[in-house]
């Protein structure tokens, strides 16, 4: 498909994804596993100053979210950011950004599943075996849910997001009486470098605004419902993140840096050790929400990339609105399970997987928002917001640093595939 190819902007036939379901998909994609482990990892990197990193990223995420919503509303296509890159910069850039997203998920999904598995292990024991079994079970569960289509995904996500919000509000409220301002000292034990390191980790917590663009064509009315869902999600996610981060620092203090299950620790402080079992159930729901949204988005993207020639054509089935991209879903699922088994076999924890995934998604954000600056109408408020978002994503790129190298490897692979495909086509003719 060429740069000037037509992109459908009509609403999806049939019921479609509603504003509330879209908000729930956003909450699951962005909030998800970020809250069950990263408050502790950020506290380890920066101490109480991790709160600064949380605040900066909450503020920076708003223009990025609004920019992707503007693009999704104008160009509701399964290709998402890849489609915007194609319209703005051509097929090669579209293929690169599509590959960066598509091949980030087999690394990100095992990390997310490990976060959920750690809570189960904390509750029932069993060590790495319990974590591994839980992680693989989670990946298979979201594969099964997505095999039935985005309507089931949206309804499931609405339930999961509601449970997620209730759980987080409850955890913060129960632990709040045990907050101690003395835990804010020393505020920045690792200096500015610690805050930057925390931001690199926490970028994972704010990835997801681009994911729902791949499902924009599934919304009942993309131009109306997508911006509304985004605005609601920005408010909900910002409030919950900041409240939880503050509770972790004030209640758990220095011990937060050594906790694999900080939400469980918060509940344990408030109501006793038995809360770890409840926290494990909640963590599973959180993880399902994140993976559910990402599997849905990535499966749609894979089908669109197959349609557009950036991946093998047999993946294209399911790229149209209302269709289920089961072939692409199978590739995502198998790749994620294999990556998880390899990580457990090699003893690799979730942190390096988080950083590798983050590097790829920062590259996706950079290209997507640059495309918005070019595509959105000059002089419009949405374009001005996109310029602000571009500055914000440049800051994220600096914080991510060396982990952007993996995105360069994927870029080289994408360009090599396109070159091979052109030579093969030329040989046939």
* Main-chain phi, psi angles of 63, to 5 degrees: -65, -30
Report the distance separating Cα 95 and Cα 110, nearest Å: 24
Domain parsing of the chain, residue ranges = 19-428
Confidence of residue 12 (pLDDT cuts 50, 70, 90): very low
Closest CA to 206 of 82, 370, 339, 26: 26
CATH homologous superfamily for the domain 19-428: Amino acid/polyamine transporter I (1.20.1740.10)
3-state secondary structure of 219: strand
Report the distance separating Cα 391 and Cα 382, nearest Å: 15
Residue 420's alpha-carbon distances to 90, 94, 427, in angstroms, are 18, 17, 11
Q: According to the model, what pLDDT value does residue 325 have?
A: 86
pTM score, two decimals?
0.75
Confidence of residue 177 (pLDDT cuts 50, 70, 90): confident
- Tens of pLDDT, residue by residue over 112-127, are 888 888 888 888 888 8
Q: According to the model, what pLDDT value does residue 157 have?
A: 62
- Tens of pLDDT, residue by residue over 370-379, are 999 999 999 8
Confidence of residue 10 (pLDDT cuts 50, 70, 90): very low
pLDDT at 197 over 60: yes
Residue 229's alpha-carbon distances to 147, 237, 414, in angstroms, are 24, 12, 33
Q: Quick one: CA torsion of 157, 154, 233, 370, rounded to 10 degrees?
A: 120
Report the distance separating Cα 326 and Cα 317, nearest Å: 8
Find the DSSP H helices in 213-274. 222-247, 262-271
Report the distance separating Cα 83 and Cα 301, nearest Å: 10
pLDDT at 33 over 70: no
Report the distance separating Cα 169 and Cα 424, nearest Å: 56
Mean pLDDT within 196-225: 76
- Tens of pLDDT, residue by residue over 249-305, are 888 888 766 666 677 777 777 776 566 777 788 778 778 877 877 888 888 888 888
- Tens of pLDDT, residue by residue over 74-120, are 888 777 888 899 999 998 999 999 899 899 888 888 988 888 888 88
* Cβ-contact 229, 209 below 8 angstroms: no
* Cβ-contact 169, 244 below 8 angstroms: no
* Cβ-contact 310, 103 below 8 angstroms: no
Higher-pLDDT residue of 162, 382: 382
Closest CA to 136 of 358, 276, 279, 334: 334
User: 281 exposed, middle or buried (CB, 10 Å; 0-12, 13-18, 19+)?
Assistant: middle
CA dihedral sign, ordered 155, 261, 329, 352: positive
Mean pLDDT score across all residues of the chain: 82
């Amino acid at each position: 498909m060429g740069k000037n190819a037509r992109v459908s902007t009509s609403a999806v036939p049939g019921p479609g994804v509603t504003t509330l379901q879209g908000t729930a998909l956003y909450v699951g994609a962005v909030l998800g596993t970020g809250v069950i482990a990263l408050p502790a990892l950020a506290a380890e990197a920066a101490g109480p100053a991790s709160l600064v990193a949380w605040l900066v990223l909450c503020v920076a995420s708003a223009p990025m979210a609004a920019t992707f919503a503007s693009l999704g509303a104008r160009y509701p296509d399964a290709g998402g950011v890849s489609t915007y890159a194609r319209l703005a910069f051509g097929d090669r850039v579209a293929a690169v950004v599509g590959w960066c997203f598509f091949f980030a998920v087999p690394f990100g999904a095992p990390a997310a599943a490990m976060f959920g598995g750690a809570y189960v292990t904390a509750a029932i024991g069993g060590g790495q075996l319990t974590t591994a079994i839980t992680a693989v079970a989670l990946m298979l569960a979201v594969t099964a849910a997505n095999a039935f289509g985005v309507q089931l995904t949206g309804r499931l996500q609405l339930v999961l997001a509601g449970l997620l919000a209730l759980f987080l509000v409850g955890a913060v409220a129960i632990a709040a009486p045990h907050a101690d301002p003395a835990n804010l000292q020393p505020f920045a034990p690792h200096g500015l470098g610690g805050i930057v390191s925390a931001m690199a980790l926490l970028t994972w917590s704010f990835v997801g605004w681009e994911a729902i663009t791949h499902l924009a064509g599934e919304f009942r009315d993309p131009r109306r419902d997508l911006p509304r869902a985004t605005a609601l999600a920005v408010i909900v996610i910002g409030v919950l993140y900041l409240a939880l981060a503050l509770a972790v620092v004030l209640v758990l203090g220095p011990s937060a840096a050594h906790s694999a299950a900080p939400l469980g620790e918060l509940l344990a402080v408030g109501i006793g050790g038995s809360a770890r079992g409840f926290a494990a159930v909640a963590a599973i729901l959180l993880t399902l929400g994140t993976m559910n949204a990402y599997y849905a988005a990535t499966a749609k993207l894979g089908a669109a990339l197959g349609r557009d020639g950036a991946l093998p054509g047999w993946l294209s089935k399911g790229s149209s609105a209302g269709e289920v991209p089961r072939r692409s879903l199978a590739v995502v699922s198998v790749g994620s399970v294999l990556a998880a088994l390899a990580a457990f076999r090699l003893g690799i924890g979730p942190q390096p997987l988080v950083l590798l995934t983050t590097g790829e998604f920062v590259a996706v954000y950079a290209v997507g928002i640059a495309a918005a600056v070019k595509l959105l109408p000059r002089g419009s408020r949405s374009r001005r917001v996109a310029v602000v978002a571009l500055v914000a994503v440049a800051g994220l790129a600096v914080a991510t640093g060396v982990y952007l190298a993996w995105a360069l490897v994927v870029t080289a692979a994408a360009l090599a595939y396109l070159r091979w495909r052109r030579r093969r086509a030329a040989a046939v003719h």
